[in-house]
Structure 1
Amino acid sequence: MALHPKKSIFYLMSLAAGLIVANIYYSQPLLNEISNSFNVSESEVSNVALCSQLGYAFGLLLIIPLGDKIATKKILSYNFLFMITGLTAMAFSPSLFCLLLSSFVVGLASSVPQLLIPLAAHIATPEERGKSIGIVMSGLLIGILVSRIISGVIGEHFGWRILYIIAGISMLLLYIVLQYRLPSYNPDYKGNYVQLMNSLRFYLVDDNNIRMAGLRGALGFAGLSAFWTTLVFLMNDSFGYGSTITGLFGVIGIFGALSAAVIGKWNDKLNQKTILLIASITLFSAWCVLSFSTHSVIMLIIGVILIDLGLQALHITNQNIIFEKYPDARNRVNTVYMFTSFIGGALGTTLGAFSYQNWGWTGVTTLGTFLMILLLTMSIKNYGS
C-alpha cells in the first residue's frame, strides 16, 4: 500500500535521523578494539564517546538555532561536508588524539537530526504533531540502537577503521537523497546570528518549562550514556563476550524504539504530566533491574527494554511540551533542551566509565539508580503541581 506523500516524508526524515545520529554511537561497542589498537586504558578510550557527545552538544548550541533563520537544506550542505570529512579522518587516525579530535567534528556535524524534528513539527497538522515527531524520533532512536549492532559486527570481524569508511560513504549517499526529497522550509527570523543566539538566554532563563524539560532530559540521557558506555566492559569481564554480542543488545532496544510513534499519539491525547511520571517510574525500575544483572543476561535484556521505553516517553513528551509553547522558535527551544540533555549524556559517559573502572558494574548501577531517583522526584513534584 502506497504511503501518502506527506507521510512518506516523515519516514524519510526518520531514516535520515537514524543514519546520521548513528555516527555518534558507532564507537561504543568498539571501545575494547580501539583501546587495544592504541594501547590505552578503558578510561582513556571512553573519551572517544565523550568527544562525539560533546561535539553533538556544541552542534546543538551553535548550529541548530540557525534552523529558525536559514533554510534547512542549506545548513545540511555544510554539515554533511564536515561529517564526511570527520568520518574519513576517524578511519585513518594515527593516534588516539587524532581520533578524539575527529570524533568531536563528527559529533558537531551529526547534530542535524535535531533540525529534522522541528521541521516535522512545522509541516505536520496540529492534531498529528505528536505522532509525526514520534515517527522521526523512532528513526533517531533506532539509529542509536542499530549503530551498536552494525559497529559491533563490523568491528569484530573487519576492524573498527573499516566501519568509519562505510559510514562516510553512507553519508554521501544520504546527502544526495535529502537534497532531492526533503521539503523546503524558509524560516522568517530577521535578526542576525548574535541576536539569534542571545534569544536562547530568554528560553533558558525565563521559561521554567524549558528548564525543567532540559533537566529531565539530562538525567535520562546521563543514565543511558552511563549504561551503554560501560556495557561493553561488563560483557567482556563478566560474560567473556566481544563487541558483536554487545552490539546485538541494540536489537532488543529496537522493540522499544518502535513504540515512539505510539508514545507520540499518547501525547496528542493524554495528560503529559502523567506520561512523564510513568516514564520516570519505568526508568527507575530499569536501573533497579540492572542492579541484579552482573551475571544475568536476562536481567540485562529486561533493563535495556525498560530504559529505551522510559527514555522515549520522557524525551518525546519533553519535546511536545516545549514545541507547543513556541511554534515560531522550535529550533531554538529544541537547542536549549537538547544541549542540556546531551551535556547530561556526556557527564553520564564520564561518570559511568569512572564508576566502572573503580567499582565495577555495582558502581555504574548505583550511579544510574541515583540519577533516576532525582528524575522521579522531579516528576512526582511536577505531577502534583
Structure 2
Amino acid sequence: MTMKFAVRPQLHGYDTFAAFTEAHTVTERDLIFTQRVLHDAFMKDTPAQTLFYDDFCGGEPTDVAVDEMLRAVRKLGFERLIAIGGGSILDCAKVLALDSDKTVAGLFAAGVQPGRKAGLLLIPTTCGTGCEVTCVSVFDFPSIGSKIGKGFDAGFADHAVLIDELLSKIPYHVFATSSADALVHALEIYLAPRASAYTDMFCMAAIRAILQGYMRIVQHGRDVIQQDAKAYLTASNMAGIALANVLAGGVHAIAMHFGSAHHVPHGEATRLFLPPVFKIYYEKAPDGKIADIARLIEDVVGVSDGGNPFDALDALLAAVVPTRRLGEYGMTAGDAGRYADKVIETQQRLLVNNYVPLSAQDIARVYSELM
C-alpha cells in the first residue's frame, strides 16, 4: 500500500480574536463569513465586509441554500474570505471561495475541480469537525434524501486559525456533540485501511485528549470546559489533519443518511452511531488495531475486570454527550432495513474505509439497537 500525508494550511493559534485581526491585518478588502451572534460578540470592531450564514440557512446547509450564498458572494469584491463558525460555515466557505459560476450540483459533479478566486482563512468556533484543515464540503441534498461530501483540491485553506476565546460562547450541547464528532474522526481514521504511522500519531493524541477532557467533566463538572478549551481545539485540529489524509468510515456513513432523513446535526448523528458500530468491530476483530483503542480506553476511562471497553466508552458518552433513542427522532422499526440499503447505495465513499466490512444486515442491526 502506498502512503501519502500532508498538512496543507498553515496553522496559527491565538488567545483572542483581537490578537488574530492584528496579526493578519484584517481590512475592508476582507469578507468575514459568519453568524450574526458571533459577529456581535467578537467582530464588531473589524473593518471587514460581512456575509451572514443565518441570512441563508437556519440549520445545516442544503445545496439549495448554498446556491443562494454563491449568488450573493459572486456580487462582492474581496481579496480574502475569512470564515468563522462551526463546520457548516467552514464547509460552505470552501465552496464560496472557488473560482466558478457553477451551482452546487455542478460543482459536485464528477471531475469538477475549479481553482480558488480569493485567499481563504478558516477559523472554527466549535471543537469538532476539524474541517479547518480539510478540503471536504458536506451538504444535504434533499432531492436524493442524503448528505454528500466532496473534496476540492482548492478547498484547503491558506491559514487555519485556532482562537481560544471563540469557545467561550459555545452552548454545551454544541460543545458536546462537536467534540464527540472529533472523537469519531480520530477513532475511525485510526482503524481505516489506509491509515499510516502519521495519521495514527494524530488520532491517538486526539482520542486521549478528548477522553481525558470528558473524564474531567464527569469528575469536576462542565465549568472545566473553558479551562480545557485549547486542548479540545488542538485535539479537534489533530483529528482534522488525519481526516484531511484519510476519510472516515462506517459511523459517518450511517450517520450521513440518518442525519439527512431526520434533520439531525452532524455531530449528534455521529455520536449516536459510534458505540454500536465499534462494538460490532470489536466483536468481529478484537485482536487488530482496535485493541490499541481498547487499551487506551482502559487506561483513561477504566474498565472493570472482563468488561467490554466499548461499553465503558458508551457509558462515558452517555454521561457527557447524552442523546435520544432513534424512535424519538421519528424513525420506525420498519425503517432499519431500508435505511441500511440507502447507506450501501449512497455512502460507498466512506464504507470502503471501514475497519472490517459492514453488511446491510450489520447496518440494520446498528439502527435497530438504537430504536
TM-score computed with the length of structure 1 as normaliser: 0.27
Higher helix share goes to which structure? 1
Higher strand share goes to which structure? 2
TM-score computed with the length of structure 2 as normaliser: 0.28
